[in-house]
Amino acid sequence: MVYFNEVPEKVVYEGTTTKNPYAFRHYNPEEVILGKTMKEHLRFALAYWHTMTQDGSDPFGSPVNQRNWWGENEMETAKNRVEAFFEILQKLDVEYFCFHDIDIAPTGDSLEEFLANLDVITDLIKEKMDQTGIKLLWNTANMFSHPRYVNGAATSNNAEVYAYAAAQVKKGLEISKKLNGANYVFWGGREGYESLLNTNMGFEQDNIARFFHLAVDYAKKINHQPQFLLEPKPKEPMTHQYDFDAATTMAFLQKYDLTENFKLNLEANHATLAGHTFQHEINTARNYNALGSLDANQGDPLIGWDIDEFPSNIYDTTLAMYEVLENGGIQPGGINFDSKVRRTSFEQGDLLLAHIVGMDTFARGLRAAAKLKEDRFFDDLKEKRYASYTTGIGQEIVDGKADLESLADYALTHGEIKTESNHLEYVKSLLNDYLV
């Protein structure tokens, strides 16, 4: 069965003059930029939860999304979703996908039943992957939606909950092996606290660190070692989440000796919730050699929570893609659209239109970033700005040859310092020329 009749067999690049809504205006997958195709640079992935299971409901209203994959029962719907999902992936020529365990299969009446359902659905997914060559970027376990996880999963006060979460992750790693997942993600949905009045933060963090080590050990045991990723987010659903931002998460990974196996999965809207830009978070991760993968979306400056809007801001994607280029690429990570259609975009075709704008926005970002890199725009700017460290006393500081006495001597004998303006307004004006 075909689920998206209104969409052509393949969405292709037609340029900005096209009147076809189901066409790329900027993303030209095979076009080579800086020695790699756009497709290789961008490594786009689709998120199962937003694309297949999200129903458009919000705290004030019931589901609105019109979808044609509902079956007679939950299992039939789950199977139809796999078909429809691979149709979208193929139509958009997207090579990767991501999912939570509960997105793909009904949880049933028991853990046993859930695991059995997962086996059936992952068999079907594997078949589709083999037929199409589409690959699993990452999977994860949803350990935050069910009421048992009200106090967290690996940071829960209840050890039985911890064990249940472990059962989900064990299965998740087995699925990752079965589907040859490149990465395995942990987003700490409710790993945080509401109030310190009744929370032992140190104990909870020790526990979740133990949990991550158990996951690494089990992956080794079953002889499948995906890149593990932690996804920071400062708040929502918990008032305070432990993996607040990239820097906090790196401190955690270092403290608990997890940096060898873990990198970061950074999400744009999580960055802005933490009071950072997306670029700041990616740059921070790069400084720790820990840039793993990206969750692409954007927030709204007028709204203070995680709205997972599809990216359309070329300023942000340009700076994000500049960091990715500077990183030498993002593989084995990718750019996963952790983005959802607005409630008012409830028709099924909107799912493709939304991904098209997201992919085009990143394609434009890539083009502009490549040009900025070729022109050494930021390199020259920074080289000039830090020039004082390349000779004389600056060189001595960098080489570790200066001490407080020699620096004080220098200051005493060199009089008042002449500082220079940053001309940041001029820099921004020049940068704008790259964006349009």
Residue 44 Cα to chain centre, angstroms? 11
| 426 exposure class (CB count in 10 Å sphere: 0-12, 13-18, 19+) | exposed
Q: Interaction with ligand XUL in 71-100: which residues (CB under 6 A)?
A: 100
| Residue closer to ligand XUL (CB basis): 38 or 264 | 264
- Nearest 5 degrees, angle CA 168-CA 170-CA 174? 115
CA distance 276 to 131: 41
Shortest spacing between CB 235 and ligand XUL, in angstroms: 10
In terms of Cβ atoms closer than 10 Å to its own Cβ (0-12, 13-18, 19+), residue 260 is exposed
244 binds, among Co ion, ligand XUL, none (CB under 5 to 8 A by kind): none
Q: Name the minimum Å distance from CB 5 to ligand XUL.
A: 29
Q: Running DSSP on this structure, what letter comes out for residue 202?
A: H
- Residue of 113, 101, 196 whose CA lies nearest to 149: 101
Task: Judge whether 362 and 310 are in contact, CB under 8 Å.
Answer: no
Q: How far is the CB of 56 from ligand XUL (least distance, A)?
A: 17
Reference 142, options 97, 181, 189, 178; nearest CA is 189
DSSP 3-state of 335: strand
Tell which one of 93, 243, 338, 360 touches ligand XUL (CB under 6 A). 338
Q: Which of 41, 100, 280, 355 is catalytic?
A: 100
Catalytic status, residue 243 = no
CA 374 to chain centre: 26
Q: How many residues bind Co ion (CB under 5 A)?
A: 3
- Residue 233 touches which member of Co ion, ligand XUL, none, C-beta under 5-8 Å by kind: ligand XUL
353, 358, 364, 365: CA torsion to nearest 10: 170
In the complex, the smallest distance separating the C-beta of residue 383 from Co ion, rounded to whole angstroms, is 35
Question: Which residue number is nearest to ligand XUL in terms of Cβ?
Answer: 187
Which is nearer to ligand XUL, 294 or 369 (by Cβ)?
294
140 makes contact, choosing from Co ion, ligand XUL, none, with CB < 5 to 8 Å by partner type, with ligand XUL
308 near Co ion (CB under 5 A): no
| E strand or H helix at 431 | helix 424-435
Q: What whole-number distance in Å separates Cα of residue 224 and Cα of residue 238?
A: 32
CA-based angle 81:266:253, to the nearest 5? 115
In the list 231, 245, 316, 360, the residue contacting ligand XUL (rule: CB under 6 A) is 231
Active-site residue, 101 included: no
Q: Out of 267, 306, 316, 360, which residue is the one contacting Co ion (CB under 5 A)?
A: 267
Instruction: Among 22, 96, 187, 322, indicate the residue that binds ligand XUL (CB under 6 A).
Output: 187
Which ranges constitute the DSSP H helices of 310-376?
314-326, 349-374
263 scored as a contact of ligand XUL (CB under 6 A) = no
Task: Please select the residue that binds ligand XUL; options are 174, 191, 306, 309, rule is CB under 6 A.
Answer: 306
> Binding residue for Co ion (CB under 5 A) from 93, 204, 245, 295?
295
Tell me: does residue 295 bind ligand XUL (CB under 6 A). Answer: yes
Residue type, 253: L
Could you say which of 338, 355, 368, 369 contacts Co ion (CB under 5 A)? Answer: 338
Which lies closer to Co ion via its Cβ, residue 101 or residue 267? Answer: 267
Q: Which of 103, 204, 267, 281 binds ligand XUL (CB under 6 A)?
A: 267
Residue with the two structure tokens 């997207």 = 94
Give the binding-site size for ligand XUL (rule: CB under 6 A).
10
- Least gap, CB of 297 to ligand XUL (angstroms): 8
In the complex, minimum distance from the CB of residue 232 to Co ion, in angstroms, rounded to a whole number:
10
Task: Kindly write down the DSSP assignment for every residue of 98-142, as one continuous string.
Answer: EEEHHHHS---SSHHHHHHHHHHHHHHHHHHHHHH--EEEEEE--
Check residue 245 for interaction with ligand XUL (CB under 6 A): no
Positions annotated as catalytic residues are 100, 103
Rule CB under 6 A: which residues touch ligand XUL?
100, 140, 185, 187, 231, 233, 267, 295, 306, 338
Rule CB under 5 A: which residues touch Co ion?
267, 295, 338
